[in-house]
Each structure stands twice: as structure tokens, then as C-alpha cells.
Amino acid sequence: MLTPSKLAGKIPFICNRSCGSPSTESERNVHHSEKSLHSAATAAAQAPIAPRCAESKCNSLGIVALAGQGFCLQHFFTQCYERLDRIDPLARKPRLEAGEAQRARTLLQECANQTLLVCLRHEPLNNLDKSRLLEILLQCSDLQVLLHRPALLLT
């Protein structure tokens, strides 16, 4: 039997989802749905997903929209990696025009948001798919940091 002396110094487990209302401000600000991601995504990312993948010769179902086109998971990975490969050299430039930096940020935000939506919606993810999704999120984050350098922008 657990006595108060045995529980002393232990942190109690609190369930945020079903055990009552959130107790702290940070718990109230946690979003447990994909609705907040939709509102943060760009307009192109909110386009309806086509029933089939936008890649020619692919008959798979479209599960996620990127740049207004629906893609299957494998072609989504390809599109994200190509996008990241295009943005990487721009983000590493010592100077960048403000408009070019903003376009790159928008592309990265859409890529990251859609990656998170795949994580929330797509049930049958294997470990390789999960690792690719994590890698995309980490690369988007790294490039966003590079694009927010104070000395980066030209006026």
C-alpha cells in the first residue's frame, strides 16, 4: 500500500486530455488538433487534396497537399527534399534580398506544416517514414534559423 511518506518527493501523473481543465497557461495554449496547423499554413497548403498523386505515372492516393497539389507520401518526401535542396544555398548566402528571404520562409513553413499534418493524420507510418518526416522538420527548422540571421537581409 502506498503511504504519504512513500509518495513524498514523487511527481504525480496528470492527464491533460481527460482529467479536467488545464491548470497552467502553457497547458491551455497546447493545441491537440491539426486545426491550428491549418490556420498557420499558407493558402496553397490549404488547397483540397486531389484524389490521386500529382506526379505523372503515380496511381497512389494523394494524402497531403504541397504547393496546391496533392501527393502520395513518397512523392511528398521527394518534393520536400527538392524544396529543401533549393532553399539551402539561399539560406547560406551572406546576403539575401528581403523578398527572396520571405519567399523561402513561406516555402519552409508550408513544408513543415504539411509534414506535421502527415504526422497527425497518416496512421500507417513505418520507422523509415517517421525518420524522414523528422529529418524534414529538422532541416526546415535549421533553414528557418539561418534565414532569420540579423545580418542576412539587404534593404
**Does 4 fall in a domain?**
no
CA distances to 9, 16, 79, 107, 147 from 44, in Å: 51, 33, 15, 10, 21
How does pLDDT run across 33-55, given as a tens digit for each residue? 444 444 444 444 445 565 789 89
Q: Which of 120, 109, 97, 113 is nearest to 143 (CA)?
A: 109
> Would you state the pLDDT for residue 111?
96
Containing structural domain, residue 48:
34-150
Q: What is the mean pLDDT of the chain?
A: 75
pTM of the model: 0.67
**Does 76 fall in a domain?**
yes
**Does 10 fall in a domain?**
no
What is the Cα Rg of the chain in Å? 20
116-132 average pLDDT score: 91
**Does 44 fall in a domain?**
yes
Of residues 155 and 79, more confidently modeled: 79
**Does 5 fall in a domain?**
no
**Does 22 fall in a domain?**
no
107-118 average pLDDT score: 96
**Does 23 fall in a domain?**
no
Q: How many domains does the chain have?
A: 1
> Would you state the pLDDT for residue 148?
85
Q: Residue 149's pLDDT band (boundaries 50, 70, 90)?
A: confident
Provide the grid cell at 74.
513518397
Q: Residue 126's pLDDT band (boundaries 50, 70, 90)?
A: very high
45-74 average pLDDT score: 82
